[in-house]
Amino acid sequence: MEFRIKKEDLFKGLQKAQGIVAAKGAMPILANILLEAREGEIAISATDLDMGMEGQYPAQVAIPGRLTINARKIFDIVRELPDEEISVKSSENDWLNLSCGRSKFKIAGIPPEEFPKLPSFEDSAFSMKLERDVLRDLIRKTIYASSNDTTRRNLNGTLLELEEKEIRMVGTDGHRLAFASYATQEPIAEPGKTQSVILPKKALGEILKFLEDGEGPITFYLGENHASFRKEKFRLVSRLVDDQFPLYRQVIPTENQHKAVADRDSFLHALKRVSIMSDESSRLVRFEFGQGLLRLMAQNADIGEAVEEIEIEYSEQDIPIGLNATYILDVLNNMPSEKVDILLKDTRSSCLISPMGDDSYKCIVMPMRLN
């Protein structure tokens, strides 16, 4: 294998692989990337067996070939090289020789035959095109509510539901829930049928990075055990979570009749200030909804206390409720509108927050016990 490539193109491919390779594990090959030199391009692949990626980048290929190399080492090397053309050549016993300007490196590789193949199912899978901004919006609005506990497989991911003319994503960790939907112009599923899968949180994080580059639609493929996202000469493949997602519709409150309207920015910054004084473990803040005012209160026996009031549109009964400040801040940071609707029932019931007048995005936060 022998090729020459711009540093910018090689660095971009290596950078995309960093979030996918398995740094430690029983299979050393998973810490490597697969480099493939083809006619006019190279392909860079990475996988941790649950997720994988492949990207193609322009290169001047003299001798086609394949070799796997430690992903972190070659990334760190290329990152520090000058912005000049890089020459790459493999030698006997799976060594990689890399040179750029006056810099020369020789790196030990692993035979490419040991590298796991990425699943190929796209020819027979359900597929649809999604605008990049739509997919990014749905993921951003829900991923933060998914659990970080990898042992709770059904919560350590986001539910994706496809209906005739609607896409829905739902994330929950058992204490909060985020629901986002998007109405499509064309039918994407059979009438009366819902297709549901759980996408792992790690994969969604990599998809968000992937969506930052370029423009144009993304093609989404859904197979029996895997999902794939493809854009131009890059694809990301993820194993689906084989588990049962909670019955989220039962969690969305329908009896929260007390409605307050708040300015998002005023609410966000006031809560940020007050939450500084909240207990670091519980993050409890007391929210007191009263006539035209929302009072925020936090207390920490070791540090002190904070009280702040903001004006809101509210003319119903006074309701105090304890909520986790971090959860509410996550909601407000992902809220797309200038004003937010806050729907309450009582002190002991969950709080529902959504953009003013928009039911396509709903966030539910469970209450905490007040002293």
CA-wise closest residue to 207 among 234, 177, 226? 234
What single letter denotes the amino acid at residue 166?
A: E
pLDDT of 350:
97
pLDDT of 272:
98
What single letter denotes the amino acid at residue 207?
A: I
- The number of residues in the chain equals 371
Average pLDDT over every residue of 305-329: 97
Average pLDDT over every residue of 222-230: 92
pLDDT of 120:
84
pLDDT of 30:
94
pLDDT of 249:
95
Lowest-pLDDT range of 121-130, 154-163, 172-181, 358-367: 121-130
pLDDT of 342:
98
Lowest-pLDDT range of 85-89, 221-225, 358-362: 221-225
User: Do the beta carbons of residue 237 and residue 119 sit within 8 Å?
Assistant: yes
pLDDT of 146:
97
Phi/psi-derived region of residue 270, left when phi > 0, alpha when psi is between -120 and 50, beta in every other case? alpha
* Residue pLDDT, tens place only, 138-169: 999 999 999 999 889 999 999 999 999 999 99
pTM of the model: 0.90
pLDDT of 216:
82
Average pLDDT over every residue of 130-144: 94
129-162 per-residue burial string, b: 16 or more CB within 10 A, e: under 16 = ebebeebbbbbbbbbbbbbeeeeeeebbbbbbbb
Lowest-pLDDT range of 14-18, 149-153, 296-300: 149-153
pLDDT of 11:
97
CA-wise closest residue to 325 among 296, 302, 348, 350? 296
pLDDT at 124 over 80: no
Residue 121 pLDDT class (50, 70, 90 cuts):
confident
Distance of CA 195 to the CA centre of its chain: 21
Residue 234 pLDDT class (50, 70, 90 cuts):
very high
23-48 per-residue burial string, b: 16 or more CB within 10 A, e: under 16 = eeeeeebbbbbbbbbeeebbbbbbbb
pLDDT of 190:
81
pLDDT of 37:
97
Distance of CA 187 to the CA centre of its chain: 26
CA separation for the pair 239, 213 (Å, rounded): 23
pLDDT of 187:
87
pLDDT at 277 over 90: yes
pLDDT of 191:
84
pLDDT of 337:
95
Side-chain half-sphere exposure of 266, counting CA atoms within 13 A: 16
Assigned token pair, 256: 């929260």
> What average pLDDT is seen over the chain?
94
pLDDT of 92:
86
pLDDT of 125:
78
CA-wise closest residue to 63 among 3, 4, 6? 3
pLDDT of 296:
98
pLDDT of 205:
93
Average pLDDT over every residue of 295-307: 94
Domains of the chain: 2-114 (3.10.150.10), 122-248 (3.10.150.10), 252-365 (3.10.150.10)
